[in-house]
Structure 1
Amino acid sequence: MKLVKSSVKRPVGVIMIVLAIIALGTVSVRNLNVDLLPDIDLPIAVVATSYPEAAPEEVEDLISRPVESSVSSIEGIDTVQSQSQSGSSLVMMMFNSGTDLDQAMLDVRENIDKVKGSLPESAGDPSVLRFDPDQMPVMQVSLTGDDATKLTQVADDQIVPFLERQNGVASVNVEGAKDREIQLELDQAKLQEYGVTANSISQALKNSNQSSSAGTVKKGNKDLQLRVIGEFDSLDEIRNTLVPTESDETVHVDDVADVNDTYKGSSGETMVNGDQAVVLSIMKKTDANTVSVADTIHNSMSNVQEDLPSGVSADVVIDTSDSIKMSIRSVIQNILIGGIISFLILLLFLKSFRATLVIGVSIPIAIISTFSLMYFTGETLNVLTLGGLALGLGMMVDSSIVILEHIYTYRQRGYSLKDAAIKGASELTPAVIASTTTTLVVFLPMIFVDGIAANLFAPLAITISFALIASLVVAITLVPMLSSKLLVKATENSGKRYWFSRVLDRVTNGYQSALKWVLGHRKTTVFGTLALIVGSLLLIPAIGASFIPSSDQGQLQVTVKTDTGSTKEHTEDVTEKVNTRLGDYDDVLETTYLNVGGDASNQASYMMELTSSSERSQSTEEVVQSMTEDLKSVPGADITVQSTNSASGLGDPVQISLSGPEHDVLNDLAAEVTDEISQVDGVSNPASSAEKGTPQMHIDIDSEKAAMYGLTAQQITGQLQLQFTGQTAAKYREDGSEMDVTLKYPEDERSTISDLEDVSIQSKSGASVPLKSVVTLEETQGPATLQREDQQPQLNVTSEIAGRDLGSVTNDIQDRLDSMNFPEGYDYNIGGQAEDMASSFKDLSVALVFSIFLVYAVMAVQFENFLFPFVIMFSLPTTIIGVLFGFFITGLPLSIPAFIGIIMLAGIVVNNSIVLVDYINILRGEGYGSDRYTAIIEAGASRLRPILMTTLTTILAMVPLGLALGEGAEMQQPLAITIIFGLTVSSIFTLLFIPVVYTLFDDLTAKFTRRGKKAK
């Protein structure tokens, strides 16, 4: 009451506060971080350990298992997974949601330090890392030209240092680069001729490439530091390095080796749109804004282009900010469209531009205030938080409508502008606060929901809550103040919109007739409503369920895998065939980035950017399905095509974890499961994490024979490594760059099995011993990767889905797996998005129950009665009819956003019932007490107009989101559909079914009251 009076009597103060809020909101929105989705809290730690030259079995036994055992007892750990492959171990610890990862990382490091001493001596020190999903490239820039060496030099010397100086850039990784190397190609014949070994050359290079301090000498009153300079200044110094021979003579390095200034053999090749390229992957700092970093890089690209040598061009290949900008732009567009629709609806009902302006001004003020609150609470401006604003747009004006309607009533009674504003707003302020509170309390339980659902939708709940609180403050301060100044002609009728008044009168008359009928047929109404609720529940199997809708971002990835152990050249030959097939998609492909052999010599991956959705007739998923069919027939490789969308970072849709005691049995079981689920309709690209064995040549050293020649296993291994992989002997610095000086044998002496068999091992005495004399060679297959979960062997079978909802596909997969005969001791678990979906649905169900209880509690406090809130709660079950019918019509599955919409409805739909039941009670208290029927008819007709206004503004403001207009709007669509259909149907039942329930409980109360009186 005091707040309303103060706002009306001190309009200048209110205006100044509003201007301050606008200024603060403008500054806040410019400084808000912009992203596609809210930050996903994934408390994951990783322990990475190298174990050079060790087979996967050794890595598992000597590295992975001890590390697993040491960390498994740490508090808060949910799952421990490990991957053991040749030369390295990766142990991943997933903690329960809400775990303090900083403390958990300290615990992990302490436990790793305890076990570090028991690891093999040749193993590297374990590295404990925090898994950060944000550490993905913000942008990838390609350098194209004819000379890869020149491209590498330009990247290293010019572009990488320049980009790393830009604001928000953490690092720049270079792919496809040629690293300079000084190679000493050894001549086997000359080594034997001069009696020189590779080890003696290596030692000579190290001895000749040293600088050191030798003390100081005095010169006058100064001390001069003595420094012996022994580092190589030129390639000639390397060539002229003296190497001792067995006969105590010396030879130069170039007498026994060719010194070549060249480049390391590239592990991978990169191509952009068919041209050889060097690709720069730009990583942002953890606290940096993705969009601002991308904009900074775009703005700096002109400076980069100016300084590039002729024949070299730089282009942006992948820009993750594009999809963010398009999605944000679409949501903002939907907010504007929804705001215009709400404004027109209000204008239609109020028949006054000034009155509409009074309410309409509450929308931008509420939105700007929300931006300020988001900034100070650390929320980001993303698709979901902006979607929350769009979804709350219609609800923002509800409180203002109710206040203005009541002010109108007092103006029509002859009150002055100020008195009408004060009295009308003051009377309904408590009711408006209570009504807004019922909407707000439904979000409280969501704060306590764990997992991905909480990470994604708690910001949405917070944003809507901010918007509603801001709109409530505007309704009880700014609206009364503006009403006292602008509603001069509020009581005058204008014939311009008389047609709508006639329409509204007809609707009112029709409603009264329908209300009279249902009051006369109460049993039919009740049982008819129950039948509709049960009938709608039967639609659930046809609707299905999914986790989170994926948005069409126009990006897809093609993965090509040839047989394990295939050479990079063979993989390149296969990609040529793939390129031929991809030529049919030139009309929809904007950019194609190919990397061959980057991760493994038998793998190649394509990153593709499609043209804008407005320029192509097919969606990304349709392109994926078409491309999958076209590439299926490419021989010699397994090819997977999948889209990159907003849900891609949430894991595979279906992940079946197989566990048991033996890796070999799991491999066979994984193949059976893959074949079995591939027959399920909707399963796309099923794949097993089991890889074919890596071809290996086992070299078994006979220690006794080796000892006869004075050789040890370490000497034999060292000379074999030198022969086939080379050895870094020294470092060479030139113009500020440092490069390796590497000893290698010619390519034609280290390529085939014959070359291996012809190797001669030199003993300490200088004698050459044929390798075959001291070892046994056996060709075999070794495992590529060994996986474990919770200290037990494990394999994963993953699958995409296409053409069906996740819930239905998961149920069919479950039936298939249950029908299989698993060996004793082997089991499966369905994870991925399917598991997250089930877990989120369970958590949100609990949140829904608590939300309903809180709504009832708020209404009980408001009415100071337990019965009337119970009557009002009967409007909630009727929302099921609208929600399920809406999803059945639109063909969308139930999803997490839809569930959030259902929780929101629990607080929204009761508002209309509150208005209706409250007014029925008021009329009965003013003289209709003995005539309940007349009070209900009168209350229904009187409250129809404000109920229609608030309902239509909320529903129609969400229509743009419900239609998923623009790119990136798919995530809010299920939530909008839930509100639109649920609120529409529940409003109809509120106006017809709630009065019937009211009479039934009123009769029941009267019956018990009469019994009580008779008992007395």
Structure 2
Amino acid sequence: MKIVNTSVKRPVGVIMIVLAIVALGVVSARSLVIDLFPKIDLPVAVVATTYEDAAPQEVENLISQPIESSISSVEGINTIQSQSQAGSSLVLMMFNNGVDLDQALLDVRERVDQVKGMLPETAGDPNIMRFSPDQMPVVWLSLTGKDAAVMTELAENQLVPFFERQEGVASVTIEGAKEREIQLILDQAKLQQYGVNSQLVMQALNSQNQSASVGTVEKGNKDLQLRVVGEYESLNDIKDTVIQTPQGSTIHVEDIAEVKDTYKEATSETLVNGESAVVLSIMKKTDANTVKVADQVLEGIDEMNEKLPKDANLDVVIDTSEFIKLSIDSVVKNILIGGIISVFVLLLFLKSIRATIVIGLSIPIAVISTFALMYFTGQTLNILTLGGLALGLGMMVDSSIVILENIYSYRQRGYSLFESATKGASELAPAVIASTTTTLVVFLPIVYVEGIASDLFTPLALTVSFSLIASLVVAVTLVPMLSSKLLAKAMEDHGRRYWFNRFIERLNNGYGNALKKVLKYRKTTVFVTILAIVGSLALIPFIGAEFIPQADEGQMEVRVETSAGSSLEYTQSIVDEVHEKLEKYEKDIETNYVNVGSGGMATMGSSGNTASFMMQLVPSAEREKTTTEIVKEINEDVKDIVGADIRVSESQDMSMGEPIAIQINGPEHDVLRDLSEDIAHGISEVEGIHNPETAASEAVPQMQITVDKEKAALHGLSQDDVLGQVQMQFTGQIATKYREDGQEMDVTLLYPENERSTIHDLQDMKITNQEGTSFPLEEVVEFKEMQGPVSLLRENQQPQMNITSDIVDRDLGSVVQDVEKVLTEMEKSFPEGYSYSMGGQAEDMAKSFTDLALALVFSIFLVYAVMAIQFENFLFPFIIMFSMPTMIVGVLGGLFITNIPLSIPGFIGIIMLAGIVVNNSIVLVDYINILRRRGIERYEAIIEAGKNRLRPILMTTLTTIVGMIPVGLALGEGAEMQQPLAITIIFGLAVSSIFTLLLIPVVYTYFDDLTAKLTRRNKKKKEA
């Protein structure tokens, strides 16, 4: 090949190009974004709307349904889900893969704007946003001190502006903050004494807290702006606000209310390691480097602690970059270990440090070149792309080994260094290019795989492809050039390695004898192969399946839910009991962050009956138990806490979804609620199901107040007047705003807490009409106590209910099979019009497996096409492809032995094997053909080719396998993700290599006989 000759003749040019690529790769590596996983594109948008003080039914009818109807025709929408609860509506749109989400969001915004005017006047403006896992916080910080109000002020005025200025930080949010408020505590008796109601007070506050421009006047040759100034400048101004009574007298606010400068009543509480704290959640920009952002935040902590008061302390609660760093470090270590082992194998075979250096150079050059290609294609440095490097490490030297071996064989026959390098490399370059191409083409169909499987493993496929392309270029250029310059005395025998030479010699002789036997007993060889394949298929039921292996990130959560309507104080008492149970796990828990009363994003508000613990465990290397084991133990410990539903689980990646998610649909919410509870109870008996829960929350106790409009009219009141006064009595009302030192705060009218706490306060409440006359509320309303739903769910404009569950101690595939059996049996008793479907990871796994199976079929076809082009023959590729079925024996056997379920990474490994296992066959068959073209008889050509190619086949196979062993052992943090991939390749390649060496020669003879028979038949036809 011309490229080989050119590289040998012009070594300086080759070296300069290599140095340039290395320099570019080093610069690219420093510029790569570091993250835990590749960017996952979730085509999801959210429309969030508030509707204060509305029940879930009203929110569904007046907010959720109109928005659902308006956006349902947006192109590309796959599913619409809505959650309606007291005071808020959340509508989620899931789009098809490949949809331009930016354009789709514009369409959604246009449709929502059209329906906005139909929403209730008191409803908030719909907020349309794009949902992404990147919007999760990178770092949580806690600010602790004696005075929570002072800590809030420090967080708002100093910390938030400081951290938002850091490079890569998108936003900083505060939890557990105290919000300042001016409260006017109304005196009921004095209001009645003066004949004043709360509406008059609000009007007075609003009208007297205003400043406005009222025109201009001339003064000399200048125009003076006229501005009436009346905004409150002090609390005394509020106290002195004038109120005109209906009787015509004048009073002041301080006559009927106590003015207090205080803080809003807390609806939630934030604790860090049991201590009250203000928590800052720091989110990065979408394209920012997670590790870099976290490092800058950590550096800023020390800087800010020096500026904060002595009693204030800023500390890290959870740092997501810590696990990323540990994971990246473990992958890098695995790469180094695998590389060192591979080089040792090379040294053992080549018996020459120089020869080892020649081949070993292909590893760093390929790795560094890969970094450059990753940078220019926009890939990030994560555990999967680095895992791709670790998996491709052993394969990087395969091409170089084959080339060098052939160069050495020419050298042994007496050719000069230059001739050996050019002839040896040129002769096998086509076979090497073909074998590398077969490995590369198997990744092409992955481009057409959609969803999370594509997002996660396309970067891995690109990384492996980049490394193999780089190593191929090195093999056909740098290796021949270096061989012609450095290997004058290479690969000579040395006494210290004589034992290995004897071992290889005995192995070669043994293989030669075995080859003669299988060629003699060809039918027996084929039968034994078929028997091994069929036997391995019988292992499938014992292996199981899962979506993606769960890495031990050391994060777990505890969710506490007391009975609906419980007070914040009661929920806090349950949280204290949970804290006591957690004391015995102190050595394993690094930080414990608790939010009491916060409903999170899904509820868009607060809920006094819920609390969530987020716990970061110490790194796995520093604890004796896995996160799953600790979760199970804590779950057992908290079972005896009465008065709350407590669920302990590992933190789930939001992009992956729940392992088990069951959706039931039907026309009635009440029926769905009953069915969901039956299903949750039914599947709880399935082995492996852990903490099944339904979205059908416990009903909230409600006091329904119905206004008698006729009676209210007799007193000169409308329904709105009555509702306004009831709302004023029990929740208060914001009258105006007060500004002080650049801060704006609410001025809120409230009644004393002892007048708005009990049912008697409601029943004894007095209503005041426009004339100032007071009368009991009971005269114009009817009270009715009932149960109301917490939230109402819909999917594709039909009521829905969800049941979710974690799984432990069992693979997802087996659990799903048993759950399906339970659901199939239960569906028989479903009312007409009700149905169920599986979602979550179970659905994603089924879809991904289907897509990957199709990709595998296309990959096999592409491998055949490449070999047909290489051999210019339609028959020879079939000989080589007989090594593919034998890999199943190794794959299934390996998964069974290591007790690892088949998962998406394992499936990717099978696809990779389709391109790898044929490489040895290509080299073997190609060399048999070369020998036969030299005039050697078929039998002798097969024996000689087998013995001659055994050494490079052993070297390429061993370097690939040992390079992956550290990954297969899952050494270090986050290595669980690549373990199934490594296991399938290690066992699949090892077993298929044995079959390749013995089965392929037999198949070759059968196909050669077939070819000869067809040739003779055609010849006879021509003669006839």
* Pair in the same fold by TM > 0.5: yes
Measure, in 1, the Cα distance between the counterparts of 2:17 and 2:224. 72
Aligned-residue CA RMSD (Å): 1.4
Question: Identity of counterpart residues, as a percentage?
Answer: 66
Aligned to 2:651: 644
Helix, strand or coil for the counterpart of 2:608? Answer: coil
* AA aligned opposite 1:643: E
Q: Does 114-123 or 936-945 show the bigger shift?
A: 114-123
Deviates more, 1:367-376 or 1:477-486: 477-486
1:487 CA displacement: 1.1
Secondary structure of the 1:958 match is helix
1:491: Cα distance to partner?
5.6
Distance 1:972 1:473 in 2: 27
Q: Work out the CA distance in 2 between the residues paired with 1:772 and 1:428.
A: 98
**Among candidates 796, 813, 822, match of residue 816 of structure 1:** 822
- Flag structure 1 segments of 5+ consecutive residues without an equivalent: none
Which residue, 700, 712, 715 being the options, matches 1:706? 712
Correspondence for 2:346: 346
Give yes or no for the alignment of 1:605 onto 2:612. yes
Task: Determine if contact 1:64/1:91 at 8 Å carries over to the other structure.
Answer: yes
For residues 127 and 31 of structure 1, the distance between their equivalents in structure 2, rounded to whole angstroms, comes to: 36
Task: State the partner residue of 1:961.
Answer: 967
Cα displacement string for residues 844-901 of structure 1 (whole angstroms, at most 9, x for unaligned residues): 0000000000000000000011111011111000000000000000000000000000
Structure 2 CA distance for aligned equivalents of residues 491 and 988 of structure 1: 26
Matching residue of 1:411: 411
Show the counterpart of 1:68: 68
Rounded to whole Å, the distance in 2 between the matches of 1:453 and 1:708 is 68
Deviates more, 1:980-989 or 1:669-678: 669-678
- List aligned pairs for 1:931-942, cutoff 5 A: 932-942=938-948
- Residue pairs, 1:262-273, within 5 angstroms: 262-273=262-273
CA shift digits 1:430-489 (9 cap, x unpaired): 222121111100000001111111111011101111111111111122222222221121
Q: How does 1:891-930 map to 2 (within 5 A)?
A: 891-929=899-937
Structure 1 distance, partners of 2:277, 2:325, is 27
CA distance in 2, matches of 1:819, 1:692: 26
Contact kept, 8 Å, 1:331 with 1:387, in 2: the verdict is yes
1:623 alignment partner, one of 622, 630, 635: 630
Match of 1:947 in 2: 953
Deviations 1:628-647 (A, max 9, x none): 111111111111111125x5
Cα separation, 2, equivalents of 1:868 and 1:12: 40
Equivalence for 2:640: 633
SS in 2 for 1:260: strand
Question: Does structure 1 residue 862 correspond to structure 2 residue 875?
Answer: no
- Deviation of 1:3 after TM superposition, in Å, equals 2.5
Q: Distance in 2 between matches of 1:927 and 1:611?
A: 68
The one-letter amino acid paired with 1:337 is I
1:977 to 979, 983, 993: 983
| Residue identity opposite 2:379 in structure 1 | E
Check 1:925–1:14 CA distance in 2 against 1; reply closer, same or farther (3 A cut). closer
Separation in structure 1 between the aligned mates of residue 345 and residue 780 of structure 2, nearest angstrom: 92
Which is worse superposed, 8-17 or 878-887? 8-17
Of residues 1000, 1006, 1019 in structure 2, which corresponds to 1:1000?
Answer: 1006
2:214 partner SS: strand
Matches for 1:713-862 after TM superposition, within 5 Å: 713-820=719-826, 821-862=829-870
What residue ranges of structure 2 are gaps of 5+ in the alignment?
600-606
> Partner of 2:248 in structure 1?
248
C-alpha separation between the residues in 2 aligned to 1:335 and 1:853?
Answer: 32
Provide, for residues 17-59 of structure 1, a one-character-per-residue CA deviation record: whole Å limited to 9, x for no partner: 2222122111111111111111111111112222222211122
8 Å contact kept, 2:736–2:748: yes
Matched-pair contact (CA < 8 Å) for 1:146–1:276: no
Aligned partner of 1:16 in structure 2 is 16
Corresponding residue number in structure 2 for 1:40: 40
In structure 2, how many angstroms separate the alpha carbons of the residues matched to 1:491 and 1:232? Answer: 93
Counterpart in 1 of 2:489? Answer: 489
- In the alignment, the residues of structure 1 paired with residue 404 and residue 577 of structure 2 have an alpha-carbon distance, to the nearest angstrom, of 70
The answer as to whether partners of 2:868 and 2:874 remain within 8 angstroms in 1 is yes
Q: Which amino acid aligns with 2:152?
A: T
Native 8 Å contact 1:411 1:490 kept in 2: no
Give how far 1:768 is off: 1.2
8 Å contact from structure 1 (residues 761, 768) kept in 2: yes
1:222 deviates by 4.9
Deviation for aligned residue 1:926: 1.7
Matched, 1:888 2:899: no
The answer as to whether partners of 2:133 and 2:654 remain within 8 angstroms in 1 is no
1:424 aligns with 2:424: yes
What is the match of residue 575 of structure 2?
Answer: 575
- Work out whether residues 411 and 417 of structure 2, in 8 Å CA contact, stay in contact via their aligned partners in 1: yes
**What does 1:89-104 align with in structure 2 at a 5 Å threshold?**
89-104=89-104
Q: 1:121 to 1:233 in 2, by over 3 A?
A: closer
CA distance in 2, matches of 1:143, 1:62: 41
Matches within 5 A, 1:36-435: 36-217=36-217, 222-435=222-435
State the alpha-carbon separation in 2 of the partners of residues 649 and 593 from structure 1. Answer: 22
**Mapped partners of 1:238, 1:121: distance in 2:** 30
Q: Supply the distance in 1 between the matched residues of 2:648 and 2:503 (Cα, whole angstroms).
A: 55
Q: What TM-score do the two structures reach when normalised by structure 1? A: 0.98
- Helix, strand or coil for the counterpart of 1:488? coil
- Would you say how many aligned residue pairs link Structure 1 and Structure 2? 1013
Cα distance in 2 for residues equivalent to 1:102 and 1:336? 42
Aligned-partner Cα distance in 2 for 1:85–1:854: 53
Worse-superposed segment, 9-18 or 448-457: 9-18
Q: Out of 664, 689, 699, which is 2:695 matched to?
A: 689
Alpha-carbon separation, structure 1, partners of 2:132 and 2:905: 25
- The alignment partner of 1:642 has SS state of strand
The answer to whether the Cα contact below 8 Å between 1:916 and 1:940 also exists between their aligned partners in 2 is yes
Deviations 1:130-150 (A, max 9, x none): 112211111000011222112
Secondary structure of the structure 2 residue equivalent to 1:16: helix
Residue 220 of structure 1 deviates from its aligned partner by 6.2
Partner amino acid, structure 2, of 1:920: I
Tell me whether 919-928 or 78-87 shows the greater mean CA deviation.
919-928
Structure 1 CA distance for aligned equivalents of residues 221 and 543 of structure 2:
92
CA contact (8 A) 1:411 1:491 kept: no
1:430 maps to a residue whose letter is P
Q: CA deviation at 1:223?
A: 4.2
- Aligned mates of 1:893, 1:222 — CA distance in 2: 86
CA deviation after TM superposition for structure 1 residue 495, in Å = 2.4
Q: Which residue is 1:529 aligned to?
A: 529
Residue identity matched to 1:141? L
Contact 1:46 1:90 in 2 (8 A): yes
Assess if the C-alpha contact under 8 Å between 1:533 and 1:881 holds in 2. yes
Question: In 2, are the aligned partners of 1:709 and 1:769 still within 8 Å (CA)?
Answer: no
2:5 maps to 5
TM-aligned CA deviation for residue 927 of structure 1? 2.0
